[in-house]
Amino acid sequence: MIPELEKFKGFTVKNLPKDEPLAPGHRACQGCGEVLALRMVMKALGRNVIVCSATGCMEIITSPYPQTAWRVPWLHIAFENAAAVASGVEAARKAMARKGKIPKRHVDIMALGGDGATGDIGLQALSGAMERGHDFLYVCVDNEAYMNTGVQRSGCTPYGAMTTTSPPGTESFGQYTWKKNIPAIAAAHGIPYVATASPAYFLDLMNKVKKAALVKGPAYVHIFSPCPTGWGSAGERSVEFAKLAVDTRIFPLYEVIEGKYILSRKISKPKPVTEYFKGQRRFRHLKDDQIAYIQRRVDAEYERIARLAEVS
Amino acid sequence: MAKRVGIEVSIAVAEAVKLADVDLVAAYPITPQTHIVEHLSEDVANGKLDAEFVPVESEHSAMSCCCGSSAAGARTFTASSSQGLSLMSEILYIPSTMRLPIVMVVANRALSAPISIWNDHQDIMVQRDIGWIQTFAENGQEAFDLTLHAFRVAEDRRVSLPMIVNIDGFTLSHVIEPIEILDQEEVNRYLPPFKPRYRLDPKKPITMGPVGIPEVYTEAKVAHDQALKASKKVILKAWDEFAELFGRRYQPVETYRSEDAETLLVTMGSISETAMTAVDAMREKGQKVGLVRIRLWRPFPAQEFRKAAGKAKVLAVIDRCLPPGAPCGPVGEDLRAVFYKVPGAPKIFSFVAGLGGRDVTVETFEEIVEKAQAKARKRPRELYEVIGVREK
Q: State whether B65 and A87 contact (CB < 8 Å).
A: yes
**Minimal C-alpha gap between A105 and chain B (Å):** 11
Q: From the list B23, B26, B68, which residue is nearest A86 (CB)?
A: B68
The answer to whether the CB atoms of A72 and B52 lie below 8 A apart is no
Q: Assess whether pLDDT exceeds 90 at residue B379.
A: no
Which residue in the set B58, B204, B207 is minimally distant from A63, CB to CB?
B207
Above 80 in pLDDT, residue A93? yes
- Interface probe, candidates B18, B28, B57, B87, chain A, greatest A C-beta count within 10 A: B57
Q: Are strands B24-27 and B52-55 parallel, antiparallel or unpaired?
A: parallel
Task: Evaluate if residue A173 carries a pLDDT over 80.
Answer: yes
Work out the mean pLDDT of chain B and round it to a whole number: 97
In 3D space, the residue among B66, B169, B52 whose CA is nearest the CA of residue B119 turns out to be: B169
* Residue A102 near chain B (CB below 8 Å): yes
* Fold held by B253-386: Rossmann fold (3.40.50)
Is B3-246's fold the same as B253-386's?
A: yes
Helix B362-377 with B271-284: angle, nearest 10 deg: 70
The partner residue sitting opposite A81, judged by closest CB among B60, B201, B216, is B60
Q: Confidence class of residue B335 from pLDDT cuts 50, 70 and 90? A: very high
pLDDT digits (tens, 9 = 90+) for B56-97: 999 999 999 999 999 999 999 999 999 999 999 999 999 999
**What value does the mean pLDDT of chain A take?**
97
Please report which residue ranges of chain B form alpha helices under DSSP H.
9-19, 34-45, 59-71, 82-97, 122-126, 140-155, 184-190, 214-246, 271-284, 302-309, 330-338, 362-377
Is A23 an interface residue toward B (CB < 8 Å)?
no
Q: Report the chain A residue with the minimal C-alpha distance to residue B206.
A: A73
- CA B305 – CA B58 distance, rounded (Å): 38
Using a CB–CB cut-off of 8 Å, the residues of B that contact A are: 23-24, 26, 50-52, 54-58, 60-61, 64-74, 76, 90-91, 94, 193, 200-202, 204-213, 216
- Closest C-alpha among A175, A128, A171 to residue A151: A175
Cβ separation of A66 and B216 shorter than 8 Å?
Answer: yes
Confidence of residue B380 (pLDDT cuts 50, 70, 90): confident
Other CB atoms within 10 A of residue A272 CB: 12
* Chain A from 125 to 184: CB within 8 A of any B CB: 125, 127-129, 131-132
Residue A245 has a pLDDT of 98
CATH number of B3-246: 3.40.50.970
CA distance A113 to B11: 39
Which chain A residues are closer than 8 Å to B69 by Cβ?
88-89, 91-92
Distance CA A187, CA A306 (A): 16
Domain boundaries, chain B: 3-246, 253-386
ipTM of the complex: 0.97
CB contact under 8 A, B207 and A99: no
The confidence band for A267, taking pLDDT boundaries of 50, 70 and 90, is: very high
Per-residue exposure over B63-92, b if at least 16 CB sit within 10 Å of its own CB, e if not = bbbbbbbbbbbbbbbbbbbbbbbbbbbbbb
Q: Does A48 touch chain B (CB under 8 A)?
A: yes
Domains of chain A: 3-311 (3.40.50.970)
- Closest to B213 (Cβ–Cβ): which among A64, A73, A78? A64
**pLDDT score at B95:** 98
Question: Which of B52, B198, B207 has the highest number of chain A CBs within 10 A, making it the mutation to test binding with A?
Answer: B207
pLDDT, residue B306, reads: 97
| CA-based nearest distance B185→chain A, Å | 18
Write out pLDDT tens, residues A220-239. Answer: 999 999 999 999 999 999 99
Size of interface A-B (CB pairs under 8 A): 160
Q: Which pLDDT value is given to residue B1?
A: 87
Do B72 and A128 lie within an 8 Å CB cutoff?
no
pLDDT per position as a tens digit, B110-126 = 999 999 999 999 999 99
Sign of CA dihedral A144, A145, A147, A151: negative
Is residue B381 pLDDT above 80, yes or no? no
Shortest Cα–Cα distance, A131 to chain B (Å): 9
Asked if A87's CB is within 8 angstroms of B68's CB, the reply is yes
Distance to chain A for B357, nearest Cα, Å = 32
What is the distance in angstroms between the Cα of B193 and the nearest Cα belonging to chain A? 10
| Mode of pairing for the β-strands spanning B296-298 and B289-294 | unpaired
pLDDT, mean of residues B184-197: 97
The pLDDT value recorded for residue A44 is 98
Mean pLDDT of A273-294: 98
Q: Between chains, do B72 and A71 touch, taking CB under 8 Å as contact?
A: no
Question: Does residue B55 have a cis peptide bond before it, meaning omega lies within 30 degrees of 0?
Answer: no
Q: Please give the pLDDT value at position B392.
A: 82
| Contact check, Cβ <8 Å, A70/B90 | no
pLDDT at position B382 is 81
For the cut 90, the answer to whether the pLDDT of residue A312 exceeds it is no
Contact of B123 with B88, CB cutoff 8 Å: no
Instruction: Tell me whether strands A108-114 and A74-76 are parallel, antiparallel or unpaired.
Output: unpaired
pLDDT tens track for A98-157: 999 999 999 999 999 999 999 999 999 999 999 999 999 999 999 999 999 999 999 999
Tell me what pLDDT residue B206 has: 98
For B250-306, the pLDDT digits (tens) are 999 999 999 999 999 999 999 999 999 999 999 999 999 999 999 999 999 999 999
Mean pLDDT for the stretch of residues A48-60: 98
CB contact (8 A) between residue A95 and residue B23: yes
Task: Give the mean pLDDT of A83-102.
Answer: 98
Residues B241/B306, Cβ–Cβ less than 8 Å: no
Q: Which of A26, A45, A51, A75 to mutate to test the interface with B (most CBs of B within 10 A)?
A: A75
